A and B are shown apart, each in its own frame.
Chain A
């Protein structure tokens, strides 16, 4: 224990030392009225309806737009700032995800799910601030750099067949965006470790200490994200402030002791949990470099509505009194630690009830008195998370390995029903849905076969598709991209898009080693640009605002990803190359040889006629031919002329020919080298 602790203390010492240095350095900078590099860490915990728990780590570092420090940074990871400067990245997001976000039970209409639910595997998009013709080169370099930084095969995204250029359906809409996914990438600790390296305290202190690998990877969903924005401040565009946002979203199953010994009646009681029981660790000490480090507990709108807080009627007035007893001592649950502050959501447009946020400040706790919150449920509670307007799923149709169809189906959720009833006065309300679908080139999509089904009835495409942008796939060159804006009536129950495709056939060396496993088609992005998932919490001091909460306030359109599809492709026989080459060449030789044989065959009397002709005409060429044929037959033929002269003639001609051929070869080499 002592051995373990010693480096820890040492590190802390170094950290505090650095921190002091930073402080001194920044003291001078502050006087000039410049911003300083900041780092803040937050953890948000949210109980999910299906007895699971969402933990959302949010680390944010920012570097101010300053030239005074040159390329030196105190807190901000140097690798990232170099990357931004070198490739002129305006905005970038990289996510490593394992598992699938369950939109039905975990919700899709809150800021956490719409910006942190990611497709399985690696997803990378970046906006560049370079001229149009340099973007692809920058992208290639960026993928290689990231691949090295995060120990992942992101470099596979460099080939033009894997990334695409979304025109307008992708949120940071501009022409300089590049988007690529690797759905089959396996995500593990080797990707997490370099990600943690970017944090000033690594995982040695405060909240990051909770990132215990076994408990993280035991979860149902795990998504590690890195979002980068560089804001230009000066007109030259060299100076840029960078905001690096690192989030890790995990969905875990709290397995408390009580959950094991539940009675049949208590089956619906949510499992009680504490940070130490889910992560196996406690938050001890603080990261001295962090500006703020806090833990939040979020109670969902649906949950709050179910819990029936005593003074729900005058909830707003109560929120102003910061530590209102009513909010945290509730008959249905009990918190182990008293929250430092309670935020109540401002009225939202889409829901009647408001969510509640409990805030715990980690700074107050020390190593001797570690921080650990727990939530103990007393009565069974069941609620539903707020869902996306339409639930999207995607599947294949057809069988066999020749062709098929992709169907994207949209089903109305309980949200749309409420929305519809709210808007029914207008009569004609429309629901805008953006679909962004990338298909690899070996799935050859026939865009003319796009069909729209609304309420299971085939309808004319032009009635519901407002805008469509297609860039067809080029073999081994670029993937097919389809961006569609659908305008659906609000009372729609189901809508489906189907599109037919042919499966391509690849060369033997283009198949991966596990060719029979199939190929992944990346998720389609379904976004609802008219709906914004935002949570505005009443805060009294806007100066000292938490990055996580300000992130929640941003209006981001509701987005959901569909499933990744696995398409099996026909495989050739991998053991056959030599056989195929030899058999094919044999057949060609057969063709060539037999046809030539038929063409040059002379039958009995023709030969005699030729011989007679040859005897008559003693030209040089017939003579040579007869000699040659005699040689080939292996018989000696009586020479008509004296052998030496003839042979010398042959030799000179032969030498001439050889020289000619050699000269040609030399010329060819010279010309092409």
Chain B
């Protein structure tokens, strides 16, 4: 992946963007959508296009979209995207308009990623300058991480498959990126809007509130504050202007206010659209409740489906709690350790969620792989990157094969597919662990550069 990144020069950024858009448009015109929309890797019960269409049909026939256990998405998505699920233009495939919306969502996400990445890069350079490390670290070799992240997001096969496969994950990803962009560029209402929508669409994004608070309170990623203090102690001059700002509660309160406002707004809209039917309680039960209880055991790239298909009924609740608490358990340690790098914290949270969530899809992986592009400079000496790259390629090739063997040919059994899901989970674990470790090592390196010690602390 590193090599690919380096090949991409900043001058050809727009060429790549247009190429990826054209590639998407070509794929959209393929008949039956290459059957991508029914692939288990792309469409989970939460993001499936067919389920969205079913929900819309039920709503059109004056039934609650949550009647039956088909649709588990947001009612707002139903009102916005539902009309696109039926044939609008004569002679064109049904999903054409919907696919165009996904493409637009992808491009918007990529642009937001680019803007945020540029923001982060400037902040990083500024902090290096204030630490007087510009000479030690060759800033001229710094990559334009924003462009790279945007291109990774756009050209990632996972993103393309999720977009062409008509899942709703491009929209969900856009909401997450909108939230981070808003927080980075201090557009508090936008950040609150992104956070509320992301949480509304998929429950797991709720934990992004911690990085957003750090972003709003302390500003974007920078080396630990301690280093600045040390640096100034060494220089015996305490220049307050060069120090990163202390945690300020003002924007956070502002954010809370806006988040409250937006969530009330979203709930009112949902309430209006579900007025004739079960109301909000039914919505929560069949969206968040469905996510938390893992009722649908159809195969996906995660590991929970097979676990809950096999585990004894008696232990089901116990393991449900264990797996969900596992996500929550890691929030605090990570937040303490990476509080000075809120964007990276957000990336780690997103990666952990997409690894442990009940119905993961490749769209979720596409998001965190895109965000990973922001930190190409910091994570330059991450271990196992080649192994991870090969692993991702291998799993994404093997998983459809195993699925075919099990489901379509009947020559393999469930364990074949589960094994690839397991390998995929392990790869994600290695990515998260190595990523966190590399980031902490990078901070150590900076400190060593400041204190002038030889770089022995690498582990």
**Residues A584 and B307 in contact, CB atoms below 8 Å apart:** yes
CB distance from B189 to the nearest CB of A (A): 34
Output the nearest chain A residue to B403 by Cβ-Cβ distance: A402
- Write out the residue numbers on chain B whose beta carbons fall within 8 Å of the beta carbon of A576: 310, 414-415
Interface status of A1 (Cβ within 8 A of chain B): no
Interface status of A572 (Cβ within 8 A of chain B): yes
**Residues A587 and B429 in contact, CB atoms below 8 Å apart:** yes
User: Among the listed A444, A470, A507, A595, which residue makes an inter-chain contact with B61, where contact means beta carbons less than 8 Å apart?
Assistant: A470
- Write out the residue numbers on chain A whose beta carbons fall within 8 Å of the beta carbon of B408: 399-402
CB distance from A257 to the nearest CB of B (A): 50
Query: What per-residue 1/0 map shows which CB atoms of B305-316 lie under 8 Å from chain A?
Result: 111111111000
Interface status of B437 (Cβ within 8 A of chain A): yes
**Residues B326 and A577 in contact, CB atoms below 8 Å apart:** no
User: Among the listed B329, B429, B459, which residue makes an inter-chain contact with A603, where contact means beta carbons less than 8 Å apart?
Assistant: B459
- Chain B's interface: helix, strand, loop or mixed, by majority? helix
**Residues A473 and B429 in contact, CB atoms below 8 Å apart:** no
Interface status of A580 (Cβ within 8 A of chain B): yes
Interface status of A313 (Cβ within 8 A of chain B): no
CB distance from B77 to the nearest CB of A (A): 16
**Residues A470 and B311 in contact, CB atoms below 8 Å apart:** no
User: Among the listed A471, A595, A605, which residue makes an inter-chain contact with B67, where contact means beta carbons less than 8 Å apart?
Assistant: A471
- Write out the residue numbers on chain B whose beta carbons fall within 8 Å of the beta carbon of A672: none
Query: What per-residue 1/0 map shows which CB atoms of A427-443 lie under 8 Å from chain B?
Result: 00000000000000100
CB distance from A459 to the nearest CB of B (A): 15
User: Among the listed A444, A571, A595, A600, which residue makes an inter-chain contact with B432, where contact means beta carbons less than 8 Å apart?
Assistant: A595
**Residues B67 and A505 in contact, CB atoms below 8 Å apart:** no
**Residues A402 and B308 in contact, CB atoms below 8 Å apart:** no
**Residues B306 and A601 in contact, CB atoms below 8 Å apart:** no
Which listed segment binds A: B180-188, B194-202, B296-304? B296-304
Which listed segment binds A: B125-133, B161-169, B268-276, B418-426? B418-426
Question: A530-580: which residues lie under 8 A (CB-CB) from chain B?
Answer: 570-573, 576-577, 580
User: Among the listed A403, A473, A571, which residue makes an inter-chain contact with B69, where contact means beta carbons less than 8 Å apart?
Assistant: A473
Query: What per-residue 1/0 map shows which CB atoms of B341-375 lie under 8 Å from chain A?
Result: 00000000000000100000000000000000000
- Write out the residue numbers on chain B whose beta carbons fall within 8 Å of the beta carbon of A605: 453, 457
- Write out the residue numbers on chain B whose beta carbons fall within 8 Å of the beta carbon of A317: none
Given A599-B436, A605-B457, A577 and B312 contact (CB-CB distance below 8 Å): yes
**Residues B309 and A508 in contact, CB atoms below 8 Å apart:** yes
Interface status of B334 (Cβ within 8 A of chain A): yes
- Write out the residue numbers on chain A whose beta carbons fall within 8 Å of the beta carbon of B296: 475, 505
CB distance from A585 to the nearest CB of B (A): 9
**Residues A598 and B298 in contact, CB atoms below 8 Å apart:** no
User: Among the listed B70, B310, B426, B459, which residue makes an inter-chain contact with A444, where contact means beta carbons less than 8 Å apart?
Assistant: B70
CB distance from A189 to the nearest CB of B (A): 36
CB distance from B72 to the nearest CB of A (A): 11
**Residues A580 and B333 in contact, CB atoms below 8 Å apart:** no
Interface status of A219 (Cβ within 8 A of chain B): no
User: Among the listed A473, A572, A587, which residue makes an inter-chain contact with B306, where contact means beta carbons less than 8 Å apart?
Assistant: A572
User: Among the listed B309, B334, B337, B418, which residue makes an inter-chain contact with A506, where contact means beta carbons less than 8 Å apart?
Assistant: B309
Given A401-B408, A507-B297, A604-B456, A580 and B63 contact (CB-CB distance below 8 Å): no
Interface status of B256 (Cβ within 8 A of chain A): no
**Residues B68 and A572 in contact, CB atoms below 8 Å apart:** no
Given A474-B69, A581-B307, A603-B457, A505 and B422 contact (CB-CB distance below 8 Å): no
Interface status of A592 (Cβ within 8 A of chain B): yes
Interface status of B261 (Cβ within 8 A of chain A): no
**Residues A573 and B433 in contact, CB atoms below 8 Å apart:** no
Interface status of A190 (Cβ within 8 A of chain B): no
- Write out the residue numbers on chain A whose beta carbons fall within 8 Å of the beta carbon of B425: 587
User: Among the listed A400, A509, A572, which residue makes an inter-chain contact with B414, where contact means beta carbons less than 8 Å apart?
Assistant: A572
- Write out the residue numbers on chain A whose beta carbons fall within 8 Å of the beta carbon of B329: 592
Given A402-B407, A475-B69, A580-B306, A599 and B415 contact (CB-CB distance below 8 Å): no
Question: A507-545: which residues lie under 8 A (CB-CB) from chain B?
Answer: 507-509
Question: B116-155: which residues lie under 8 A (CB-CB) from chain A?
Answer: none
Output the nearest chain A residue to B423 by Cβ-Cβ distance: A587
User: Among the listed A441, A448, A590, which residue makes an inter-chain contact with B54, where contact means beta carbons less than 8 Å apart?
Assistant: A448
Interface status of A583 (Cβ within 8 A of chain B): yes
- Write out the residue numbers on chain B whose beta carbons fall within 8 Å of the beta carbon of A473: 68-69
User: Among the listed B306, B322, B433, which residue makes an inter-chain contact with A598, where contact means beta carbons less than 8 Å apart?
Assistant: B433
- Write out the residue numbers on chain A whose beta carbons fall within 8 Å of the beta carbon of B355: 591
- Write out the residue numbers on chain B whose beta carbons fall within 8 Å of the beta carbon of A448: 53-54, 56-57, 85
Interface status of A502 (Cβ within 8 A of chain B): yes
Question: B415-459: which residues lie under 8 A (CB-CB) from chain A?
Answer: 415, 418, 422, 425-426, 429, 432-433, 436-437, 440, 444, 453, 456-457, 459
User: Among the listed B58, B334, B426, B456, which residue makes an inter-chain contact with A587, where contact means beta carbons less than 8 Å apart?
Assistant: B426
Question: A280-334: which residues lie under 8 A (CB-CB) from chain B?
Answer: none
User: Among the listed A471, A508, A599, which residue makes an inter-chain contact with B337, where contact means beta carbons less than 8 Å apart?
Assistant: A599
**Residues B310 and A581 in contact, CB atoms below 8 Å apart:** yes
Interface status of A596 (Cβ within 8 A of chain B): yes
Interface status of A395 (Cβ within 8 A of chain B): no
Query: What per-residue 1/0 map shows which CB atoms of B208-245 lie under 8 Å from chain A?
Result: 00000000000000000000000000000000000000
User: Among the listed A504, A580, A596, which residue makes an inter-chain contact with B307, where contact means beta carbons less than 8 Å apart?
Assistant: A580
- Write out the residue numbers on chain B whose beta carbons fall within 8 Å of the beta carbon of A444: 69-70
- Write out the residue numbers on chain A whose beta carbons fall within 8 Å of the beta carbon of B414: 570-573, 576
Given A472-B70, A591-B429, A577 and B311 contact (CB-CB distance below 8 Å): yes
- Give the complex CA separation of A218 and B63 in angstroms: 49
Output the nearest chain A residue to B415 by Cβ-Cβ distance: A573
Output the nearest chain B residue to A477 by Cβ-Cβ distance: B69
CB distance from B431 to the nearest CB of A (A): 11
**Residues B298 and A502 in contact, CB atoms below 8 Å apart:** yes
Interface status of A446 (Cβ within 8 A of chain B): yes
25 contacts between A and B (CB under 8 A): A400-B408, A444-B70, A447-B57, A448-B54, A448-B57, A448-B85, A470-B58, A472-B68, A475-B296, A480-B68, A504-B297, A509-B313, A570-B406, A572-B413, A573-B415, A581-B311, A584-B307, A587-B303, A592-B326, A592-B329, A592-B330, A595-B429, A598-B436, A599-B436, A600-B333
Q: Which 3 pairs across A and B sit closest by C-beta, in order of nearness?
A: A472-B68, A448-B57, A400-B408
Known: A472-B68, A473-B68, A588-B322. 11 other contacts (CB 8 A): A401-B407, A447-B57, A504-B298, A505-B309, A509-B312, A571-B413, A571-B414, A590-B426, A591-B432, A591-B433, A599-B337
